């Protein structure tokens, strides 16, 4: 069996940014739900992209400090 699935990280980041901005504009909660049964490898990576986009301002401001072992695929656990 060969899996040839591909997702553009840039397109994902742009989509997440648009959805986060739309949620802020509407005053609603932004929530990310991933099906945990099939995607044990890709879900943390997708989640990491969401955390990166959501906290973009903080990450840019503290980029030097955050290069010391922050893995966004674990969510904000290692961020704070």
Give the pLDDT band of residue 78 (cuts 50, 70, 90): low
Distance of CA 80 to the CA centre of its chain: 16
Q: Encoding tokens for residue 78?
A: 């290692």
Q: How far is CA 16 from CA 50, 52, 77, in A?
A: 6, 10, 20
Predicted confidence at residue 15, as pLDDT, reads: 94
Hey, where are the domains in the chain? 32-80
**Can you give the pTM of this predicted structure?**
0.71
Predicted confidence at residue 62, as pLDDT, reads: 80
Q: How far is CA 57 from CA 51, 66, 72, 78, in A?
A: 11, 13, 14, 17
| pLDDT at residue 54 greater than cutoff 70 | yes
Average pLDDT over residues 28-40: 76
| pLDDT at residue 59 greater than cutoff 80 | yes
Query: Using CA atoms, how far apart are residues 76 and 45, in angstroms rounded to an integer?
Result: 13
Predicted confidence at residue 27, as pLDDT, reads: 96
């Amino acid at each position: 069996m060969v899996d040839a699935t591909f997702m553009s990280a840039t397109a994902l980041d742009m989509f997440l940014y648009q959805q986060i901005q739309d949620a802020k504009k509407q005053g609603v909660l932004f929530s990310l739900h991933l099906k945990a049964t099939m995607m044990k490898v890709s879900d943390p990576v997708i989640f990491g992209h969401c955390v990166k986009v959501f906290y973009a301002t903080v990450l840019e401001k503290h980029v030097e400090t955050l290069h010391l072992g922050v893995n966004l695929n674990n969510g904000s656990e290692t961020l704070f």
